[in-house]
Structure 1
């Protein structure tokens, strides 16, 4: 598949991407569109590891000169790198009932999450990195241990295809169950709306951090869950508990907005306090926002 530069935005828009029924083609479209855009940015590759020095030659980039070596030897040497290929990434995907919500966006949070998980898996396995996948709600529905081959990618995509939401959100319990299996340095990615206890979530994630893992949180929310831009009288139904509330939105908008803002801010601040990268992703945003966060973490941390 070839994607022209002017088509990048189109290929990364959720309403366009999720129309592609084949999940592998969808992941490929997102990744290739992202990589075309990335090529024009100041970043030129994924996580790399220093390999050796070689003498400077005409045409080499000045940014690759090792100035410390120059200071000692009065000669120009270039730092050479090799791709990091031993990363193990654990992806946790929340499929609870609340992830089935959409209002202002064109896709549900779960549609967005599945596409994001697929694209991340596609990127990493094509780099020979190992990916593990945990699909959970209030219990673990499926766990695929980390592998780095194309057959494993197929198995991940099969697991992600046709997922149906169910259960309540219990990120804490599911993280605790899998944490014991995370025994090597790597990256943990959690994709959820995190409609759960923020303190308990962060406490569980700290256990993963103590095992020398980097952690990225993607909190997916429909724009309406943040803005609460409902106008007419409505019956609100909790997708996880089926609890109902009949109300005029303008009566509760202020209290809701303050409560939601406090919840988001608490999760964000608690995460950042412990070196956990937090990303709020609205489901009407294109996928490059989330992919760039992953890319930045790879470049800066590994």
Structure 2
């Protein structure tokens, strides 16, 4: 019998067939960890502490070969657990995040799955995680906790959320930043449909309080590629506007405008010391977790 390949649970099209968010998130994390061929704790949740002499049965992967080359003796690297990280997940619930619902994969669905996957990964590392759903206001807040049952509440709120209202981060982020007293990490999932300078000023409120910030910029593949061919009626999701046009006549200028906008967003984030990661809804979610873990390793060194 021909060997059947296992489904790729990092692939959005595969995940579309799964309705429950908790199942999606855990499959994404398990798929990512399997793909890395190692525990996600290695190199991220633990820190090098000291050497000890090798003993039969020790894992050869932990041998320090640099020490061996100098001393001709085998030593094992020992590690110690780092203090838990406190992370705040900020997920955009504005109407523009609904784009893609007609085809079964909206920006919000992608963002919610990505945020849920990060939350599950953090739970496995015994970190503290909280959730904020926002639009032009703070719609829902779950305080940080590392309790195993807390992840269920986060996944429930993400699954029940209905994107409404316009995108506006100035007032919500100002209020939120004043509430986050202890230093930690802020992870934003949004399509960033707002002025980049306003975004920079709002995110700076977290940076002034010494939080580390990573922005996952969620864009639908249609918004990035503009694949439309026939005459199309475009309707605004956050504004009352319609435009009936021939897309091929607009493609070049549209893509140039998107490119300018993306460069402005990256520049604003870079100037504030914020990592900006573009998320294309057609791409694997593995990149989300890899980017998060890489940023986490970097931020942990800064937070100590």
What's the TM-score once normalised by structure 2's chain length? Answer: 0.87
2:251 is equivalent to residue 253 of structure 1:
yes
In the alignment, what sits opposite 1:229?
Answer: 227
Aligned residues: 296
- 1:219, distance to aligned residue in structure 2 (A): 0.6
Closer/same/farther in 2, CA of residues 60 and 157 from structure 1, 3 Å limit = closer
Deviations, residues 22-55 of structure 1 (Å, cap 9, x unaligned): 2211111111111100126999453322334323
SS in 1 for 2:243: strand
Query: Which residue number in structure 2 is paired with residue 27 of structure 1?
Result: 25
What is the rounded CA distance, in whole Å, between the counterparts of 2:102 and 2:67 in structure 1? 53
Residue of structure 2 in register with 1:155 after alignment? 153
Alignment of 1:98-177 (within 5 A): 98-102=96-100, 107-177=105-175
Q: How do residues 55-66 of structure 1 correspond to structure 2 at under 5 angstroms?
A: 55-57=53-55, 61=60, 65=64
Q: Which moved more, 1:62-71 or 1:111-120?
A: 62-71
Match of 2:203 among 200, 205, 209: 205
- 51-60 or 226-235: bigger deviation: 51-60
Alignment pair present for 1:183 and 2:205 = no
Structure 2 unaligned spans of 5+: none
The 3-state SS of whatever aligns with 1:50 is strand
- Unaligned residue ranges in structure 1 (runs of 5+): none
Where 1:11 maps in the other structure, the secondary structure is: coil
Q: Give the Cα separation in 2 of the matches to 1:33 and 1:104.
A: 27
Question: What CA deviation, in whole Å up to 9, does each residue of 1:96-147 have, x standing for no partner?
Answer: 1110112897511011111111111111122111111000111111001100
What is the CA-CA distance between 1:187 and the residue it aligns to? Answer: 1.4
- What is the rounded CA distance, in whole Å, between the counterparts of 1:275 and 1:163 in structure 2? 30
- Secondary structure of the corresponding residue to residue 7 of structure 1: coil
Q: How far off is 1:184 after superposition?
A: 2.0
